[in-house]
A and B are shown apart, each in its own frame.
Chain A
Amino acid sequence: MLITAGYQVKAFDNCKKSRISAREWLEERWWKLAEKGKKTLFEVESMQERLVLVDSLQDLSDCDLILEAVPEDLLMKRNLFHQLDSLMPADTVLATNTSSLSVTSISSRLKHPERVIGLHFFNPVWRLPLVEVVESAHTPLELIQQAMSWLQSMGKEPIHVLDTPGFIVNRVARPFHLEAYRIVGEGSADKNQVDRILRSAGFPMGPFELQDLIGIDINYSASHSVYEGFHYDPRFRPHPEQRALVESGKLGRKSGKGHYIYE
């Protein structure tokens, strides 16, 4: 997305293999776009030039913005931001793509926590324009506004949210999933019915087919992290069936079975 928008991008991944495969994956996509006539050869070549893989975090020190997307593990993110904080000039903006961790906890122990912002993109990034721009306890309003107009300039739809568990999307979507488990668990309806009824009401997918698509384990860990974030407020209590499914390896489409069976 950044490269398409004309930015120079340096990419770093601890693992050299995944750095290279990321590049191959992107280039394949670009060439496909070129085949379809959506990009010219020249455009693809200059996009290739704009992507630079680097071997160490130090090599990123001339960037204006560093966007982190490591796994959702608070310790891992804290350590990374600690390194970035000492390696980068004080005016480099550090952004985390966290979907469920607190931006304030990630940034609090830094020398310059005021340059950290949450930029929560949604998958797939090239199809979903939404970005949650997260204001931590340290983020100045000017940085928020700067990020918002920058994202808008790339055709994104940014919204400004406070640093609270699940921000907006993951939080407000919780009952869509959790209540469905409850309705089925208490025997009020079966999974198929819940999906049919909610689709009929206008949702693009019912909760169970949607969970099979995104992964029941992913959905469960999102439920859990919002529940924990709100100090176990009963509104967010996960359902026992979620854990049972995850533990039995029924994770959705990716494992061949989840709420439904996939051949």
Chain B
Amino acid sequence: MNEFVLLVGRGKLVEEIDLYLNQQGVKTKTLDQVFSPNEVIAVFDLEIGLNQEKRQLLQQVETRVTQQTPIFTSVLHRTATEIASWLFYPERLVGFSPLLMPTMTCVEICFPIQSLRPNHKLLSFWKQIGKEVEIVGDQPGLVFARTLALLVNEASFALSEGVAKATDIDLAMQKGLNHPQGPLQWADQVGIHHLYAVLEGLQREYGEDRYRPAPLLRKMMYAQFIGVEAEQGFYSYGPQEMRRDSHCFADRPERRSKMLSDA
């Protein structure tokens, strides 16, 4: 049998996960390739879902795979329940968080409420590639992405308010709390768009102001300053020079001196 995982989505994260799956000995194909429905062992849908494209892609996917094929979908922005509501066979849909998938020892999974009795057989794929499965509640971003998104959001507020400059905010969280990376550089690594999507999703699902994305993050989305992948996020990443130590476009030293002259 020529079994493979069907990969849906675009961008750096898709390439990383493609590479990771191949390293685990799992073959991958995309929708534009030719295959028969029986060959698909699972679908990995990594579309964020900020627009209608995710829905259209998943409806297209359903015409190309069997009714039982598990569909693992990124729940960074929408809940598995909402995504399942678009499908003919919603009970085979499983939500997961794709951030840091290659490095994390576990994978966060959630079931939509449509699967009244969660089918744990759907998860055998993860055990096959050696991931511990953590089943958590169906909310945008699950645990890690939600936590990181909120850390980055707060750092963005502090940055735009001029409380400290970008490199100092990152230094503070690394040296003061031993975080593996500062929030701003971490955001550049995983992609601002993924974290922004989590915040907007949480804000919509909970209707709470605490999840409101910082205006600076919104602007970065307009400008497509999404991080390393775009060579511009909070920091600049030139092809030749890694300008990690240079200042960030959002640092505003002039504001500080103005505050002083006012005082």
| B 172-183 to A, binary, CB cutoff 8 A, 1 in contact else 0 | 110111111101
Contact residues in B for A203 (Cβ distance below 8 Å): 179-180
Among residues 187 to 210 in chain B, which have CB atoms less than 8 Å away from a CB atom of chain A?
Answer: 208-210
Would you call A202 and B150 a contact (CB within 8 A)?
Answer: no
A263 CA / B159 CA spacing, docked (Å): 43
Would you call A189 and B136 a contact (CB within 8 A)?
Answer: yes
A129 CA / B180 CA spacing, docked (Å): 16
Would you call A237 and B143 a contact (CB within 8 A)?
Answer: no
Min Cβ gap B254→A in Å is: 13
Would you call B175 and A175 a contact (CB within 8 A)?
Answer: no
Q: Is B104 an interface residue (CB 8 A)?
A: yes
Interface residues on B, range: 35 or more
Would you call B162 and A129 a contact (CB within 8 A)?
Answer: no
Would you call B154 and A179 a contact (CB within 8 A)?
Answer: no
Q: Is A187 an interface residue (CB 8 A)?
A: yes
| B 244-263 to A, binary, CB cutoff 8 A, 1 in contact else 0 | 00000000000011011001
Would you call B210 and A176 a contact (CB within 8 A)?
Answer: no
Would you call A172 and B151 a contact (CB within 8 A)?
Answer: yes
Would you call B164 and A160 a contact (CB within 8 A)?
Answer: yes
Contact residues in A for B82 (Cβ distance below 8 Å): none
- Say yes or no: A235-B210 contact (C-beta < 8 A), given A171-B154, A193-B136: yes
Would you call B210 and A159 a contact (CB within 8 A)?
Answer: no
Contact residues in B for A186 (Cβ distance below 8 Å): 137, 139
Would you call A188 and B137 a contact (CB within 8 A)?
Answer: yes
Contact surface of B with A, Cβ cutoff 8 Å: 100, 103-106, 108, 134, 136-139, 142-144, 146-148, 150-151, 153-155, 158, 161-165, 168-169, 171-173, 175-181, 183, 208-210, 212, 256-257, 259-260, 263
Closest 5 CB pairs of A and B: A188-B137, A175-B150, A202-B180, A159-B168, A130-B175
